[in-house]
Amino acid sequence: MTYSIKEAAALTGLSVYTLRFYDQQGLLPFVGRNQAGYRVFTDSDLNMLHTICCLKNTNMAIKEIRQYVAYCMAGPTTIPARQELLAKQRAAVLAEQRRLTANLKEIDYKLDIYQAPDAVAIITQERQYVQAEKAAAGLPDPYAAAELRDS
């Protein structure tokens, strides 16, 4: 089956502008054109676009995506290069996932405090600790200006 650029955009969730941009960036050398010069997408093109979106969504640079597409276009002799490129991207995604997991733990920790029955007491105690720490270091009370603004 074939699709116009507008249909391909609708099917992929990308805008027509993004598809044109990807084409200009050399990411779509596999997309053909009809006699009128319009891009014509096939199901296999949409599959490749799915992979391109996956790589883009995992923060792979356009330059690296272009290299991956070039490897795919070159045929099976580039399988080792493709494996290397994707393994590198996988490692980057896993590192980002670990970072996000650590940040999520901090958010959950804060939410647990704010949802606790004694949340007001916990926050009051934290504020008192911060004020004492700042005073011991000869620094101004960080909450004084905020309390004046809130009044």
> Are both 65 and 138 inside the same structural domain?
no
- The verdict on 84 and 126 lying in the same domain is no
**Side by side, which strands form the sheet with 39-42?**
2-3, 39-42, 32-33
Q: Which domain holds residue 59?
A: 2-89
Model confidence at 81: pLDDT above 60: yes
Q: Is residue 104 part of a domain?
A: no
Report the chain's mean pLDDT, rounded to a whole number: 95
Residue 73 within any structural domain of the chain: yes
Output the pTM of the full model: 0.80
Task: Give the span between the Cα atoms of 12 and 147, in whole angstroms.
Answer: 51
Tell me the C-alpha distance between 31 and 36, whole Å: 14
HSE (CB half, 13 Å, CA atoms) of 11?
Answer: 18
Residue 110: inside a domain? no
CB atoms within 10 A of CB 64: 14
List, for residues 36-69, the tens digit of each pLDDT value: 999 999 999 999 999 999 999 999 999 999 999 9
The DSSP letter of residue 32 is E
CB 134 within 8 A of CB 140: yes
Residue 31 falls inside a structural domain: yes
Is residue 108 predicted with pLDDT exceeding 90?
yes
- Are 79 and 6 part of one and the same domain? yes
My answer on whether 122 and 79 are in the same domain is no
Residue 111 belongs to some domain of the structure = no
Looking at the 3D structure of the chain, how many domains does it have?
Answer: 2
Q: Give the CATH number, domain containing residue 84.
A: 1.10.1660.10
What is the number of alpha carbons within 13 Å of residue 94 lying toward its C-beta?
6
> Is 17 part of any domain?
yes
